[in-house]
Amino acid sequence: MSQQEPASPSPGANGSPIGSRNDSEAQQVSARVQKILQELGSAAQRSIDLSYVEMEENEAQLVGEAIASSQHLEVLILQLDPVLTPDEEESDGEDPSWPNDTVLRAAFLGPRPNTSVRSLIIEGSGTDGDFMRLGVLPQVIRENSHLTKLEFQWKGVDGTGQRETQELFDSLISNSTLRTLVLPSLERWDFEDPEDGGFIDADTFSRVVKLVESNTSISHLDLQIGECRGPGSADLNLPAFYTALRSNSSIRTLRLRGFFLKRNAEAEFLEWIRTSATLEELDMESLGDWYQDEDEEPLRYKLFFRALRENKSLKKLVLDGLSADADEDFRELMDALTVNSTLQEVVFEPDSDHGEAVREALQRRVAQ
């Protein structure tokens, strides 16, 4: 962050100037937090990063009040607290310190909450595989009518417990202002048997479906799920997910990571690709990685590329270049490009052996 000019004290969420705090409290505020408070008081400060800032409760309260008072801050970056046990309940008689809850509560849930922040970026613990505590975040999402972007930037398989994950989705379903939603990996690792870890449960996935089905404001959606196995996996309704996508008219950009397809959802998936009228960009992993049963063959790319013939909305397609490179699949894609007039860009990550030929075909079509 750039050094800002000292600013006059900003009023707190309770209406009293932050600068009027008594001297003993001010002496307890670290130099780093003092600098943050100074930056929040500057009209030039549009973004603040609190992801690796350790704060005591009184410091978190001061920062939250300063955010509430700011009318110029647009981007807030926070780091959630890791916990040993997911969905950890607070015991009677205990008064745990959750500084991030304090910041969020003071900034967005007070009598005069912040109305300028549009982007909320949530960092994980900085390591891989921690349980993150969502705390009051779902309440903020549910009650805030100004946020347009929520992005989780977690490491690897950081995750939350089932209860908090479902609370998060319930709040997202009721939110009507978010335009961009980048979710963390929705994998569960909270089971005693490690063989049961690393999957998404049916109750949580039903909320994913409901979000896609009911939300009319999100235009950019990034989803990542674990394998469809373990307790409740038989009830995972993947066909309903693609049926919901067919009826959704707001999503323009969709990024899918994880096991989003089993053979029982193949028909719905292909019908969605054929009939989509609003989706403009699709970024997805290898179709060959989307099956779980050893006796189950993956969906062949040629069926996907054949469905692209009828698609009239996609402009950009991002695919896994390692698996989408069979000669038979390539011929089907090239045939689709002679019929599909809307697709403008096909990206292979990493680049496919056929990538250059596909790009040249698209350039020739544009030149005609």
CB half-sphere exposure, 215, CA atoms < 13 A? 28
pLDDT of residue 7: 42
Alpha helices in 84-201 (DSSP H): 99-108, 137-143, 162-174
pLDDT of residue 296: 52
| Cβ burial, residue 11 (10 Å; 0-12/13-18/19+) | middle
pLDDT confidence of 265, banded at 50, 70, 90? Answer: confident
| Cβ burial, residue 95 (10 Å; 0-12/13-18/19+) | exposed
225 strand-pairing partners = 186, 258
pLDDT of residue 289: 47
Q: Give the C-alpha separation, 304 to 306, whole Å.
A: 5
Average of pLDDT values for 300-328? 89
The 10s digit of each residue's pLDDT in 202-257 is 888 899 999 999 999 999 999 987 665 555 556 678 899 999 999 999 999 999 98
Better pLDDT: 197 or 34: 34
- DSSP summary character for residue 89: P
Sheet holding 281-284, edge to edge: 47-49, 75-79, 119-123, 149-153, 180-186, 220-225, 253-258, 281-284, 316-319, 345-348
The 10s digit of each residue's pLDDT in 52-111 is 899 999 999 999 999 999 999 999 999 887 777 766 655 444 556 689 999 999 999 999
pLDDT of residue 140: 97
- Asked whether the beta carbons of 117 and 146 are under 8 A apart, the reply is yes
77 strand-pairing partners = 49, 121
The 10s digit of each residue's pLDDT in 114-160 is 999 999 999 877 666 677 889 999 999 999 999 999 999 886 666 78
Angle between helices 327-339 and 355-367 (to 10 degrees): 10
pLDDT of residue 88: 61
Q: DSSP secondary structure string, 181-246?
A: EEEEEE-B---SSGGG-SB--HHHHHHHHHHHHH-SS--EEEEEE-BS-STTGGG--HHHHHHHHH
Nearest to 358 by CA among 342, 367, 368, 332: 332
pTM for the structure as a whole:
0.86
pLDDT of residue 152: 92
pLDDT of residue 361: 93
pLDDT of residue 6: 41
pLDDT of residue 14: 44
- Kindly list the distances between the CA atom of residue 41 and the CA atoms of 9, 54, 56, 100, 321, in Å, as whole numbers in the listed order: 7, 20, 20, 20, 49
pLDDT of residue 81: 78
pLDDT of residue 222: 95
- Asked whether the beta carbons of 221 and 250 are under 8 A apart, the reply is no
Integer distance in angstroms from the first to the last C-alpha of the chain?
Answer: 49
Considering only CA atoms, give the Rg of the chain: 24
- Asked whether the beta carbons of 248 and 209 are under 8 A apart, the reply is no
Neighbours of 349 (CB within 10 A): 13
CB half-sphere exposure, 37, CA atoms < 13 A? 26
Better pLDDT: 209 or 162: 209
Average of pLDDT values for 346-360? 91
181 strand-pairing partners = 150, 221
Q: Which residues make Cβ contacts (< 8 Å) with residue 23, sequence separation at least 6?
A: none
pLDDT confidence of 321, banded at 50, 70, 90? Answer: confident
pLDDT confidence of 323, banded at 50, 70, 90? Answer: confident
Alpha helices in 28-110 (DSSP H): 31-40, 57-69, 99-108
The 10s digit of each residue's pLDDT in 7-54 is 444 444 444 444 444 444 545 789 999 999 999 999 999 999 999 899
Residue 2 has pLDDT above 80, yes or no: no
Residue 299 has pLDDT above 70, yes or no: no
